Amino acid sequence: MNIEEKQQIRERINSEIMSATEQVIELKEMTQPIAPDAAIGRISRMDAINNKSVNELLLSKTEVKLQKLEASLAYIDKDDYGLCRVCKQPIPLGRLMMLPESDKCVDCA
């Protein structure tokens, strides 16, 4: 992988980190506890609790993605960056641009 390709991936990772960070902030706001004395109907309250659960799961997945992105950014200057950690074959540039946190090729994933 050449320097220009790594720079493209670095920019993509930074963009994804910014996006994921913003999403984490929004999701943390959306997963605040629901007050039991809130003036909403029983059905609306059940719906709010369900939405909170969905948002908590999304928050967890987004935080994991953010950790993987940060690890990829720290690892990008290593000589073996862009190689599948299982089969040691190059990961296609297109895959790294779409999923910059990838550390496996399509076959091994």
- Note the pLDDT tens digit of each residue in 6-62: 999 999 999 999 999 999 999 999 898 876 665 566 677 778 888 889 999 999 999
Residue 94 has pLDDT above 60, yes or no: yes
Predicted TM-score of the model (pTM)? 0.80
Residue 63 has pLDDT above 70, yes or no: yes
Question: What does the pLDDT read at residue 44?
Answer: 79
Residue 102 has pLDDT above 60, yes or no: yes
Q: How far is CA 3 from CA 7, 8, 57, 83, 103, in A?
A: 6, 9, 37, 15, 18
Q: How many CA atoms lie within 13 A of 71 on its CB side?
A: 9
* Integer Cα distance of 45 and 35 in angstroms: 10
Residue 65 has pLDDT above 80, yes or no: yes
